[in-house]
Amino acid sequence: MNRKLFNIVMGILITVLFSGCTHRDKTGYYPINNINSKLSHSSSGIICSNEKDDYYYSNGNIYKYGNSIESSEPIVNTIEVSGSDELHPTNIAVTNNYLYFIIDGKLFRTDLHTKETDSLFSELTGRFVDVAADKEGIFVSYFTNISRIYWLDDGKKEWDTVIDLQKLLLEGKQVQNIYDFNNYVKPFMNYLLLGDDYLGTDNIRVTTVFLQNDRIIFVNNGGMEEYFMLNRIIYGLTLDGYYPIDNSTTCSISALYDYEIGQYNWLPGHYVVEDKKLYLLVQYAKPPKVVNPHQSDSIFDALIEVDPITGDSKELFKTKSNMPRIVAYEKGFVYLFREYQISSYNLATGEEEKLADLPESNSLIFDCVNGKIFVYRWETKYHGLAAVVKLRDQ
């Protein structure tokens, strides 16, 4: 074969190979839930941590994570608990002593020492829709004709011992929102409760629960907008910018001036406060599918840094196309997914390092909790944990 013919053949092969990879990138669905571990449980609801141990659901069981998936310890078989292989947990949460989880609107609790499981409040006719935990107890969302948030001390199992957080909010500080409703702020134990009367004063809602160190414990996805806290000041986050909740002036985010508002949106796990800055994941996509878009709808991902104190903002990182995808951010490192690999990108040096290979699948789910990226394979009946990737030690 002469050199000219050889070059033509090689060019065709390279084109085919690269077009194949590009096609594969454009056909997958890779939703990202949390970009780091500021939530005590994942936005998907099936991973949680008490900062000492991590727990996750996979294929009909809830496990305590070991040093690998293979060495993880089974805690409870959720198929046996529910009596059906068609049902799986929608939310799990863990304290120091108990694991709590919801299946089909029912709340269950497993003793971490004995592994005995109880059904809590089975006498109630409503549905439990969310649960989040801290070391001292749990926040649980319960729905009848309206949704309300309650606090339950760890180990208690009598309904008359729960605390109605909506009633507490009525005793808190009331501030006028930039929209036509009021926000309510109330300290509670080691937390700060935020709620609003958007649905009326007879239906005060808890929208967000913060720890005093700015970490978000609980987010009510039924809220009108997103919120974050910095130095004990609570801010509302809109597509136009952000504002202190007791101020009517919105601060714009200049780094987003070139972005069309209709092509991105905010999700609770897609923003985080770190080192007195706000970091936002922008998934820029084709309308109307702008929340965790399918690859065919995605245009690019970007990471935006905002300093709410000075009002400055800048674009820290932006992909050139819909691949790679930004799956996590923490302490100066962006974590990227491409070609079934996860790599870390050092924003200070521009160096990229491969961390792990992933199984090939056209649908993977990414959740960052407690210094790890949990990668799930999307399956028909169950979510199956496919890989766990540790973030870099900074």
pLDDT at 144 over 50: yes
Name the residue among 335, 312, 318 with its Cα closest to residue 284: 318
The answer to which of 215-229, 251-265, 364-378 has the lowest mean pLDDT is: 215-229
> Please, which pLDDT band fits residue 26 given cuts at 50, 70 and 90?
low
pLDDT in tens, 248-262: 789 999 999 999 999
Is residue 63's pLDDT more than 80? yes
- Nearest Cα neighbor of 349 from 327, 333, 329 is 333
Highest mean pLDDT among 181-195, 209-223, 380-394: 181-195
Q: Binning pLDDT at 50, 70 and 90, where does residue 39 land?
A: low
Angle at 182 between CA 180 and CA 187, to 5 degrees: 160
From CA 356, how far away is CA 366, in angstroms rounded? Answer: 14
Tokens of 359: 């199984």
Least confident of 196-210, 250-264, 345-359: 196-210
Residue 222 CB burial class (10 angstroms; 0-12, 13-18, ≥19) = middle
Q: Which residue has the higher pLDDT, 38 or 153?
A: 153
How many angstroms from the chain centroid is the CA of residue 165? 23
The confidence score (pLDDT) of residue 8 equals: 38
Beta-bridge partners for 373: 368, 389
Answer yes or no: is pLDDT of 5 > 50: no
Q: How remote is the C-alpha of 21 from its chain's centroid?
A: 29
Token pair 């694991």 in the structure block, residue: 99
Q: Read off the DSSP letter of residue 226.
A: E
Count of positions (residues) in the chain: 394
pLDDT band at 378 (very low <50, low <70, confident <90, very high): confident
Any idea where the domains of the chain sit in the sequence? 26-390
Per-residue confidence (pLDDT) for residue 24, from 0 to 100: 52
Highest mean pLDDT among 23-32, 142-151, 224-233, 314-323: 314-323
Q: 17 falls in which pLDDT band (50, 70, 90)?
A: very low
| Residue entry with tokens 């935990």 | 133
Which two tokens mark 212? 């005093």
Which band of pLDDT confidence, cut at 50, 70 and 90, is reported for residue 268? confident
| pLDDT for residue 85 | 85
pLDDT at 38: 66
User: What average pLDDT is seen over the chain?
Assistant: 88
Is the per-residue pLDDT at 14 higher than 50? Answer: no
CATH 2.130.10 fits 26-390, yes or no: yes
115 pLDDT exceeds 90?
A: yes
Give the C-alpha separation, 230 to 38, whole Å: 13
- 156 vs 212: which has the higher pLDDT: 156
